[in-house]
Amino acid sequence: MNYLAHLHLGGQSPEHWLGSLYGDFVKGRLEGRFSPAVEAGIRLHRQIDAFTDSHPLVLEALGRFPPERRRYAGIILDVFFDHCLARHWGDYAKQPLDDFTREVYQVLGAQEELPGRLAGVAPYLIAGDWLGSYRDFAVLDQVFKGISRRLSKPEGLATAFADVSALYEPLSGDFRRFYPVLQAFARTGQA
């Protein structure tokens, strides 16, 4: 799962949202580094990633990609699943997506200090409405190209949009089958 899904699954409080985002930027032990609620959000983020990475429905979805793309298929699928969530937001959340993202951006923008690379990413995430922009499938091409620039072998991801376009329908079905399972897991793992 990518940013939007982690935020959606991570809880309702601003501190849980922060923890949900920090999960991609904070490594190692947590004890005492952040507030208990932020640490709970980071732990849930890690549990969601582990659950997702090993789930048979996700493994089936990853297997749809051609062999030369499989090394990057997890990244591609995370981004695509955020697209599916944004596109079908009303099926999974009561609050409109624009209201949700506005609240998240306000919380994120109010932080004086953000961990690691998130400090540099957050202004762009907010200004470009990254979370809401995932509704538009064409945006994924830009996202894949942006991520590829940070990789040692960018060619593995730079042309991923063509694969996702060809696999759009089956991958969308994979998302629809998996996301409710993941929602149930997040509710129980959030204790």
- Mean pLDDT, 10 residues at a time, over the chain (191 residues)? 90 90 87 88 92 95 90 92 97 95 94 88 92 95 86 76 95 97 84 30
In sequence order, the 6+-apart residues with CB closer than 8 A to the CB of 101 are: 129, 131, 132
CA distance 25 to 74: 17
CA distance 177 to 81: 11
CA distance 122 to 7: 14
pTM here is 0.92
Q: Classify residue 49 by burial, with Cβ atoms within 10 Å: 0-12, 13-18, 19+.
A: middle
Q: How many CA atoms lie within 13 A of 92 on its CB side?
A: 25
Bin 97: left if φ > 0, else alpha if -120 < ψ < 50, else beta.
alpha
Which helix or strand (DSSP H or E) is residue 21 part of? helix 14-22
Take residue 90 and report the two structure tokens written for it.
Answer: 């009303």
pLDDT at 2: 87
- How many residues comprise the chain? 191
